[in-house]
Structure formats: C-alpha cells, structure tokens
Structure 1
C-alpha cells in the first residue's frame, strides 16, 4: 500500500466525470487499498478515486469515530437509486479543499447500489452521516465538489484560501 498525493482545487481533474470500472480485479483492489491508506493519513472519512488522479467510479470510506460502523467501505460503480424528500444540513469538508468547511444541504437518506471490494453487487440504505458522505463522494465522480453548492463569491474565496495554504506549505 502507498499514500498517494491528493488532488486539490482548482485542479481541473476534479471537474472530470469519472468512467465506470469494467471489473474488480487485483489492480483495482490495490488502488482501493492505496486510497484508504491515503484517506487515513490525510486524515479523512471518504475519498473518491479522482482525488488521487484516477478518473474512475470508485470510492472508499471509513466513518469510525463518527458513531458509525468502524470498518472500511469500498464502492465500485456506485449509483444512487433513491433519495428522500427530507433534507439534512451537514458542515462538510473535503480533502481536496483542505481546511475549508461549509454547511451543505442534501437528502437525509439515500439508497445506493454498488460493487464491493470483491466485485459482489450490494444494496445499501444510508441515513445520517453515511448518507451525506456517500452523496459527497459520489459528487466527485460527477466532477462536483461541495463548494459548487456555494455562491461564486464564497467559492472563489475558498479557492484563494486553498492556493494560499499550498504556497505556505
């Protein structure tokens, strides 16, 4: 396993729409293991493949310490099949937008189909932080970051702050 560099705004790769994965194999599992190690080192609770420069439909998450199951989760080709009408607001952050946070409103619940680490088809009903996290990470697969939900003024301020942080090292 290896820690990979995390792509940060305003890198244009974060605007790419990720391609579906054809099969779950050892190379993909190695990427998912690297992604998980990268996410833990950052530290974070979710990471999309595009955030490590791979434009494919893969996510990893671990919500341990967030009152959720303390286990890594792997999602290959995830699809949201349903969202609730009820909405929830969560103060979101992102490893690709370091040290910046904003309240984002999303559906409070969702249902997702995906392939797991072994390529088996799975279905999940997510609520709470898990629902927020899966929607946030799936946005990355579609070239969307949480700051895209903000006004252009707020978004530009955040991008400038991230650039300034990176220059400072």
Structure 2
C-alpha cells in the first residue's frame, strides 16, 4: 500500500486525489476522417488519382489555412520563389494514409513506396464529397484552381527536379 511506502505521517499519504474530465478538442486537421477526406479530394485532383507522397504532403499542408493556400498559389503562379517547398509536410498524413490503406481507399506503390493512388472506394469517397456542395467547399475551390494536376506539372511549376 502507498501509505506503507510513504509513511503514515507523510502529507502525500493522506492527500486526496481528484480526477476531473477536461475536454480537449482535437483540431479538425488532426482528425483521421477529415484527413482521409483531404487525401481523397487531393488525389482525385491529380491525373489518374495518383500523386507522389511529397506532392500529397504539399497539397494537404496547403489546405491547412488561408495563409498556406496563398503561399502555394503564389509559388504556383511564380510570384514567389519556392525553394523551401520540400520542407512542407503534413504531420497527420501518415496516420490517415495507414487508415486509408487498411480500409482499401488508397494503395501505396513505387520502388520507394512513394506513390499514393486512390482505389475504387477512395474514388467513390472523393466523388461523394465533390457532389455535396456543403462539404469541404473551401478545399474544393482551392484545388479547382489547379485544373488537373500531375507530379510533372508540380515539378515544372515549382522548379523541382522529379
């Protein structure tokens, strides 16, 4: 017993401990369901619903805020230099990709496991999001500005070597 260890006269042995539930909301961008929806609409914007993991990180990172969306748009248009682009990553993406892989929504391929493709279930999910105007309207409007994306187009626009 703890009182034997601390001694009966010890203040800690007689202390009362109370636990209180204190809700701590999880930010939307850290929620797996939201992140999977982001992955689906980003990949659906790419040619053949497939992108490099680097580009998937970049575009899901860009969806985080108005500021990050503006940064990517300015890099894309050439009005700002994109030398730091390789440092942009989404810390919540790996968890969402693992869940998507388990659920059969995405497939990871390539010699270095660096390509992510939407599978039929993921394509259906992306199409359902696209058809509902109330879902992810800001994210969808942002992605529409890029037309049909490809890894090569991203590399050309952002002056990256693929």
Q: TM-score, normalised by structure 2?
A: 0.22
Structure exhibiting the larger radius of gyration computed from Cα positions:
2
Q: TM-score, normalised by structure 1?
A: 0.22
Compare relative contact order (CA 8 Å, sep 6+) and give the higher one, 1 or 2. 2
Higher helix content, 1 or 2: 2
Higher strand content, 1 or 2: 1
